[in-house]
């Protein structure tokens, strides 16, 4: 590597400074009972903070019970969920990581079995199943239950559920809030013409399809403290002809920037089961690069980022401001410390692990 490790340069958004540009991406664990975090989450998230990440994001967290993907999803739809999360955020901060949380509604992709039991959709009324909702009465795939098309009043109610969840997240000690508008879940379903067949002012034109996401982001920005960052994760493209496009993502990012959103977390796909997605190393980085350049706002890059030099180059070349890793952190909770060693950077290892992660000379 030539020059300093840009991956380990501090990064500040609003009143929050991240010790490096490495984030643990929200990763569903499907290990909650009635939405509650438990010892699994404490260890899963805490170990990544010990492992040197600058930002540790809690998995997609449902804003309502029927907004979960599976019955095992994490949630923050009631005050009783706060206590265990407070323990987690306290530990993350003690280890030098910023605690973040992604809040979400699964929409028509909810009411499913957990992945290791097949992940199939569960019909309303069946054990562990419920009625799913969407912008339009169009199922995700053939054979899935048809969702209930939301009324305007129900849309407004879900926005308020996001706001209420944000208030609980603040009480729990989170410093970054991310709105999930990607991967074919509810907000993305409104964005994409593949899933949004509405004829009212929440469907049809670009301005109408982004309305729910923008309204929710505006409501969250008003509720979330001014000194704390607000992220939005989007699927930059559906990878399907006639679907949501990267050009629309640039336009949406520009709108969200004007509404006080601080970073666009750039993923892709998820709104159809048959999308042809490349799945090559760094395949989604160009989306973060384009949005950063054309919308003029910070971005996070995700998707098959596995190597230290690869991640450092993304930041060094100005393609994104942060890198968010998922499977790489599942395989190695100490990925950030190992990356520091590989890049010759100072490792932020805890004292207890200092001898194992001393900087290589």
Q: Which of 307, 270, 252 is nearest to 285 (CA)?
A: 307
Cα angle at 313 between 245 and 95, to 5 degrees? 100
Which of 185, 202, 283, 334 does the annotation list as catalytic? 185
CA 148 to chain centre: 25
The residue assigned the tokens 């501090």 is: 10
In this structure, the number of other CB atoms found within 10 A of the CB of residue 47 comes to 16
The answer to whether residues 193 and 244 touch, using CB atoms and an 8 Å cutoff, is yes
Grouping H, G, I as helix, E, B as strand and the rest as coil, residue 17 is strand
Handedness of CA 136, 140, 141, 143 (dihedral sign): negative
Residue 213 has which token pair?
A: 């996401």
Q: What is the DSSP string of 238-301?
A: -SSTTS--HHHHHHHHHHHHHTT--EEEEE---SSTT------TTTTHHHHHHHHHHH-S-EEE
Q: How many residues does the chain have?
A: 361
Q: Which of 195, 184, 346, 356 is nearest to 277 (CA)?
A: 184
Catalytic annotation present for 185: yes
- Could you give the residue numbers annotated as active site? 185
């Amino acid at each position: 590597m030539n020059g300093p490790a840009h991956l380990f340069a501090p990064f500040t958004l609003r009143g929050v400074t991240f010790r490096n540009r490495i984030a643990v991406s929200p990763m569903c664990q499907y290990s909650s009972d009635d939405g509650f975090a438990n010892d699994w989450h404490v260890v899963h998230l805490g170990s990544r903070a010990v492992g040197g990440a600058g930002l540790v994001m809690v998995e997609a967290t449902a804003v309502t019970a029927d907004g979960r993907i599976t019955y095992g999803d994490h949630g923050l739809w009631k005050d009783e969920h706060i206590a265990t999360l407070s323990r987690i955020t306290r530990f993350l901060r003690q280890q030098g990581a910023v605690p973040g949380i992604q809040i979400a509604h699964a929409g028509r992709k909810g009411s499913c079995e957990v992945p290791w039991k097949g992940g199939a959709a569960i019909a309303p009324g069946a054990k562990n199943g419920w009625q799913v909702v969407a912008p339009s009465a169009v199922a995700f795939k053939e054979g899935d239950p048809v969702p209930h098309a939301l009324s305007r009043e129900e849309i407004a109610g879900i926005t308020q559920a996001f706001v209420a969840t944000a208030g609980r997240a603040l009480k729990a000690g989170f410093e970054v809030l991310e709105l999930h508008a990607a991967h074919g879940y509810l907000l993305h379903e409104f964005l994409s013409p593949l899933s949004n067949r509405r004829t009212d002012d929440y469907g049809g034109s670009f301005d109408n399809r982004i309305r729910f996401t923008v309204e929710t982001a505006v409501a969250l920005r008003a509720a979330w403290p001014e000194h704390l960052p607000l992220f939005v994760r989007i699927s930059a493209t559906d990878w399907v002809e006639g679907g949501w496009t990267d050009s629309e993502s640039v336009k949406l990012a520009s709108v969200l920037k004007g509404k006080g959103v601080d970073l666009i977390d750039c993923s892709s796909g998820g709104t159809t089961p048959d999308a042809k997605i490349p799945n090559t190393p760094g395949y989604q980085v160009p989306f973060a690069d384009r949005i950063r350049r054309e919308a003029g706002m910070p971005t996070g890059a995700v998707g098959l980022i596995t190597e230290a030099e690869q991640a450092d180059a993304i930041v060094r070349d100005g393609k994104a401001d942060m890198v968010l890793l998922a499977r790489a952190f599942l395989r190695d909770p100490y990925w950030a410390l190992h990356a520091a060693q590989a890049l010759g950077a100072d490792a932020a290892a805890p004292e207890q692990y200092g001898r194992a992660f001393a900087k290589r000379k």
